[in-house]
Structure 1
Amino acid sequence: MNGDDPRLGRLRWRARRGTRELDRLLGAWLDRHYAGADEARRAEFDALLGESDPDLWDWLTGHLDPSPRYAAIIDEIRALDRV
């Protein structure tokens, strides 16, 4: 997938959540993992962006366990923050 793919642009837009911290975490996953992700993981990220900001924040900061549907991708995003 190249940088001109309209799906990537749409996801970048949706990943901008209005808080610097969420923007950074979600944008980092797009930058580092999206190109090499399979369609199932891409769809998972797309669905994750449909969740509310408070839920995303709580899952990504470890305040709440993520929905099992998103546990693997949340772990990937969390790991990026430790790099």
Structure 2
Amino acid sequence: MKSQTELNRLFWHSRRGMLELDVLLVPFLKEAYPQLSPEDQAHYEKLLSCEDQDMFGWFMQKNRPEDPDLARIVNIILDRVQPKD
């Protein structure tokens, strides 16, 4: 389990300053991150080291990350917000 200090650090790294990313990442961190496996938590932390423009393209589904770990966490985040049929 992450310490509160670590969660605070992740919260501030999840705030990107680009509204489209903030509305995906901040709620994901608060609502879904604690239930992720340790591996997927590490993938999320890896995602936060990426450039905003890359993440924007991935979340707008204009392209996909080449790294399978990043592709997995992007899919997990998108699955939370996409309407179910």
Shorter-chain-normalised TM-score: which range?
0.7 to 0.9
Deviation at 1:43, TM superposition (A): 1.0
Number of aligned residue pairs: give it: 82
Higher RCO (CA 8 Å, separation ≥ 6 residues): 1
Identity across the alignment (%)? 32
**What is the alpha-carbon distance in structure 2 between the residues aligned to residue 17 and residue 38 of structure 1?**
24
TM-score of the superposed pair, with normalisation by structure 2:
0.84
TM-score of the superposed pair, with normalisation by structure 1:
0.86
Equivalent residue for 1:74?
A: 74
Q: CA RMSD in A?
A: 1.7
**What is the alpha-carbon distance in structure 1 between the residues aligned to residue 53 and residue 64 of structure 2?**
13
Once the two structures are superposed, residues 2-44 of structure 1 have per-residue CA deviations (whole angstroms, 9 ceiling, x without a partner) of: 8x61111100000110011101101122122111112211111
Structure 1: 4+ residue segments shifted above 6 A: none
Deviation at 1:80, TM superposition (A): 2.1
